[in-house]
Structure 1
Amino acid sequence: MAGKSEHVAKAVQAAVSTGKRLSIRSGGHSYADFTYNKDVEVIVDLSMMNDIFYDPRRKAFAIESGAQLGHIYETLFRGWGVTLPGGVCPAVGIGGHATGGGHGLLSRQFGNVCDLIEAVEIVVADRPNKVRTVIASREDTGDLKDLWWACCGGGGGSFGVITKFWFRSRGATGSRPAEQLPQPPREVLISTAFAPWQQMDETRFTHLLRNQCQWYVENSDPASPASALCGLLFVQHVSSGGIGMLTQVDASAPNAEKLLEEYLGAVTANTGITPFPFRRLPWMASTVTIDTSNPTVMTNATLRGAVKHAYLRQSFTKEQCAAIYHHMTRPDYANTSPGTAMIQLGAMAGGRMNALAPGDTALPQRRSALVAMFENFWVEAAEDAKHLGWVRDIYGQTFASTGGYPVPGDRYEGCNINAPDLDITNPKFNKSGVPWHTFYFGDNYRRLQRTKARWDPKNVFRHSLSISAH
Structure 2
Amino acid sequence: MTDSPAQPQPTVRPDDKRYPALSRGFNQRWIADPEYVRVVRSAEEVRAALAAAVKERPADPGRTRITVRSGGHCYEDFVCGDDVRVILDIGQMCAVAYDPGMRAYCVEAGATNWHVYSHLYPLSGTALPGGSCYSVGLGGHIPGGGYGLLSRQYGLTVDYLYAVEVAVVRADRSVELVLATRDDTDRDLRELLWAHTGGGGGNFGVVTRFWFRDLPEPPAQVLLTGLAWDWKDFTKDEFATLVTAFGEYFRDHQDPGTAAGRLFAILKLTHVSNGQIGLLAQVDVDDGTGPAAMREFLAAVDDRIAPRSRAMEGAMGEHPAVVHMDIPRVMPWLTATQALNGSGQNRCGKYKSAYLREPFAPEQIDAMWAYLGKERYKDYKNDQAIIQVDSYGGAVNRPPRDTAARQRDSILKLQYQVYWTEHDVHEPEHMAWIRDTYKATFAATGGVPTVGGPSDGCYINYPDTDLNLPEWNGSDQSWSTLYYKDAYPRLQKVKKRWDPLNVFRNRQSIEPPPG
Q: Is the 8 A contact 2:377 2:433 kept in 1?
A: no
Q: Partner letter of residue 149 of structure 1? A: W
Pick from 404, 415, 418 the counterpart of residue 376 of structure 1: 418
SS in structure 1 at match of 2:419: strand
Deviation string, structure 1 residues 144-179 (Cα, Å, up to 9, x no partner): 00000001110001100000101113xxxxxxxxxx
What pairs with 1:374-453 in structure 2 (closer than 5 Å)? 374-381=416-423, 382-453=425-496
Contact persistence 1:138–1:148 (CA under 8 A): yes
Report the AA paired with residue 355 of structure 1: R
Hey, what's the Cα distance between the residues in 1 that align with 2:257 and 2:453? 21
- Structure 1 length-normalised TM: 0.93
Report SS of the residue matched to 2:341: helix
Select 1:272's aligned residue among 293, 306, 315: 306
What are the Cα deviations for residues 198-224 of structure 1, in whole angstroms up to 9, with x where unaligned?
111111000111111111111234555
Identical residues among aligned pairs (%): 40
Query: Aligned match of 1:49 in 93, 104, 122?
Result: 93
Q: Is the 8 A contact 2:256 2:262 kept in 1?
A: no
Query: What does residue 286 of structure 1 align with?
Result: 336
Indicate if the aligned counterparts of 1:212 and 1:346 stay in contact, CA closer than 8 A: no
1:45–1:248 distance in 2 versus 1, CA, 3 Å: same
Q: Please state how far the C-alpha of 1:288 moved relative to its aligned partner.
A: 0.7
Higher helix share: 1
> How far has the Cα of 1:370 moved from its partner?
1.1
Query: What is the CA–CA distance in structure 2 between the aligned matches of 1:191 and 1:273, rounded to whole Å?
Result: 18
**Structure 1 contact 194–273 (Cα < 8 Å) conserved:** no
Superposition deviation, residue 107 in structure 1? 0.5
Aligned mates of 2:218, 2:203 — CA distance in 1: 32
Count of matched residue pairs? 449
Residue 32 to residue 333, structure 1, CA distance change in 2 (3 Å): farther
Is the CA contact 2:255–2:262 (under 8 Å) kept in the aligned structure 1? no
Matched to 1:334, the amino acid is Y
* Distance in 2, Cα, partners of 1:194 & 1:18: 55
Which residue of the partner structure matches residue 173 of structure 1?
A: none
Structure 2 residue corresponding to 1:362, chosen from 396, 400, 404: 404
- The corresponding residue for 1:12 is 50
Per-residue CA shift, 1:443-470, capped at 9, x if unaligned?
A: 0001000000100111011111110012
> Structure 1 residue 134 and structure 2 residue 178: aligned?
yes
Match of 2:295 in 1: 261
CA displacement at 1:388 relative to structure 2: 0.6
The aligned amino acid for 1:62 is C
User: Which one of 314, 321, 334 corresponds to residue 380 of structure 2?
Assistant: 334
**CA distance, structure 1, for counterparts of residue 476 and residue 494 of structure 2:** 25
Q: Contact 1:193 / 1:274 at 8 angstroms: preserved in 2?
A: no
Give 2:491's aligned amino acid. Answer: L
Q: Does 1:323 align with 2:367?
A: yes
Alignment check: 8 A CA contact 2:168 2:206 kept? yes
Q: Determine the C-alpha separation between the residues in 2 that align with 1:157 and 1:182.
A: 27
For 1:396, what is the secondary structure of its paired residue?
helix
Check whether the contact 1:121–1:135 (CA below 8 A) recurs between aligned residues: yes
Once superposed, what is the RMSD of the aligned Cα atoms?
Answer: 1.5
Q: Distance in 2 between matches of 1:161 and 1:350?
A: 30
Deviations 1:103-148 (A, max 9, x none): 0000000111111111001000133121100100111141000000
SS in 2 for 1:90: coil
* Structure 1 unmatched runs, 5+: 170-180
Q: Which one-letter code corresponds to 1:5 in the other structure?
A: A
Question: Aligned ranges for residues 285-304 of structure 1 at < 5 Å?
Answer: 285-292=335-342, 297-299=343-345, 302-304=346-348
Indicate the residue corresponding to 1:201 in structure 2: 235
CA contact (8 A) 1:15 1:21 kept: no
CA distance in 1, matches of 2:422, 2:48: 38
CA contact (8 A) 2:351 2:463 kept: yes
Change (3 A) 1:298 1:429: closer
1:119 to 2:163 alignment: yes
Equivalent position SS for 1:154: coil
Separation in structure 2 between the aligned mates of residue 417 and residue 143 of structure 1, nearest angstrom: 23
Tell me the SS of whatever aligns to 2:94. coil
Native 8 Å contact 2:171 2:501 kept in 1: no
What secondary structure is seen at the aligned counterpart in 2 of 1:298?
coil
Query: In 2, are the aligned partners of 1:119 and 1:148 still within 8 Å (CA)?
Result: yes
Q: Are 1:98 and 1:113, in contact at CA under 8 Å, matched by a contact in 2?
A: yes
**How big is each residue's C-alpha offset from its partner over 1:391-426, in whole Å with a ceiling of 9 and x where there is no partner?**
001100000000000001121111110000010000
d(CA) in 2 for partners of 1:335, 1:168: 47
**Residue-by-residue CA offset, 1:64-114 (whole Å, 9 max, x unaligned):** 111011111010111221111100111100110001000000000011111
Deviation at residue 52 of structure 1 after TM alignment: 0.8
Provide the residue aligned with 2:222 in structure 1: 188
Q: Counterparts of 2:370 and 2:394 in 1: how far apart (Å)?
A: 32
In structure 1, the partner of 2:14 is none
How do 1:157-168 and structure 2 match up within 5 A?
A: 157-168=202-213
What is the alpha-carbon distance in structure 2 between the residues aligned to residue 253 and residue 126 of structure 1?
A: 52
- Which of 112, 127, 134 is the equivalent residue of 1:83? 127
411-420 or 12-21, which moves further after superposition?
12-21
**What letter corresponds to residue 206 of structure 1 in structure 2?**
A
For 1:123, the aligned partner's letter is: A
